[in-house]
Structure 1
Amino acid sequence: MSTHLAPNMIIGACEWVALPELGIPRLRARVDTGAKSCSLHASDILPFERDGKSWVRFRVHLGYPEPVRDQDCECLLAGVRTVRSTSGESEQRYTIRTPIIIGHSRWSVDITLSNRERMRYRMLLGRTAMENHALVYPARTFLQGQPRLD
């Protein structure tokens, strides 16, 4: 008998997401079942200590192709991960854990911070974040509509 939960929603190849604890009410994310982890475009990434714990400060650039707004963020550091890009190169990335909202659903995900300025989508939603939460219908986009922050 499987102990996995059944996913509670169907998402498209792209979805609107919210990262409320980072002050991001809406962001387009590319759904990528080939990527293990989530990635968020960030710059000015600076680790620091607060009350004996490791934190990271960074800036998120919202909008494409040109940023229309910048959001300064701080988050408890979940760790540093080695991530292999699609070109096969490995790099160390700071990782945070924060709630995500897609449609009416909210759960916590790990997100690596990286430079995605050349990418059309400022966030990549990897398969680990979707596990037990969503099934992907790749022929459609934005099936869940805007995130519900209430």
Structure 2
Amino acid sequence: MKKFIIGRREKISLPEWDLDMISSKVDTGAYTNAIHCEWMEEKEINGKKILEFKLLSPKHRLYNGKLIQTEKYSQKKVKNSFGGAELRYKVSTKVLMFNQEFETEFTLSDRSKMRNAILLGRKMLKGKFIVDVDETNLSKKHKASQP
């Protein structure tokens, strides 16, 4: 499979969550992807466990207030950027980059103190991308160059 070159920051789309061309930080030191989430709630609906959540901060320019519900989620112990262990919800969705769509996982995390609402980790990058730290937004430039 051809590997795409990406920069240290990339614009990605998450079509199932109605987020288009959202800025994300590429972090080869992180294993999993993370996305900013300030509100999440586990519920039982018709005997099934459901996770409801809203992504991003209401202050974020791409915040859409969409209530997302999923039965496909789990909890994962993650080492946060300060070295402490945290229990986070993990959900799956499709990511669109370079006109390619692939399934990947995100942990729901408070990234309010971080510059980027999304962090892309090694698990998603492996086998698909090569990181060039001199560059940014190569997937967006690729989209613009398409006929």
- Indicate the TM-score class for this superposition, using the shorter chain for normalisation: 0.7 to 0.9
Counterpart in the other structure of 1:33: 28
Q: 1:133 to 1:89 in 2, by over 3 A?
A: same
- CA drift at 1:49: 3.4
Question: Structure 1 length normalisation: TM-score?
Answer: 0.84
Structure 1: how far apart are the matches of 2:119 and 2:50?
22
Counterpart in the other structure of 1:71: 65
Which of 54, 59, 68 aligns to 1:59? It is 54
- CA drift at 1:57: 1.2
- Residues 22-71 of structure 1, C-alpha deviation per residue, up to 9 Å, x if partnerless? 121221110000000000000111112345543311111268xx423343
Aligned letter for 2:28?
A: T
What 5-or-longer segments of structure 1 have no aligned partner?
Answer: 1-5
In the alignment of these two chains, the number of paired residues is: 141
Structure 1: how far apart are the matches of 2:85 and 2:142?
33
Structure 1: how far apart are the matches of 2:46 and 2:103?
23
Structure 1: how far apart are the matches of 2:13 and 2:57?
12
Work out the percentage of aligned pairs sharing the same amino acid. Answer: 26
Matches within 5 A, 1:3-18: 6-18=1-13
Q: CA RMSD in A?
A: 2.1
Which of 80, 84, 98 aligns to 2:79? It is 84
Greater share of strand: 1
Counterpart in the other structure of 1:22: 17
Runs of 4+ in 1 over 6 A off after TM superposition: none
Greater share of helix: 2
Q: 1:10 to 1:120 in 2, by over 3 A?
A: same
For the Cα contact (< 8 Å) 1:24–1:71, is it kept in 2? no
Which of 129, 133, 139 aligns to 2:134? It is 139
Larger mean CA deviation between 135-144 and 52-61 belongs to 52-61
Question: Structure 2 length normalisation: TM-score?
Answer: 0.85
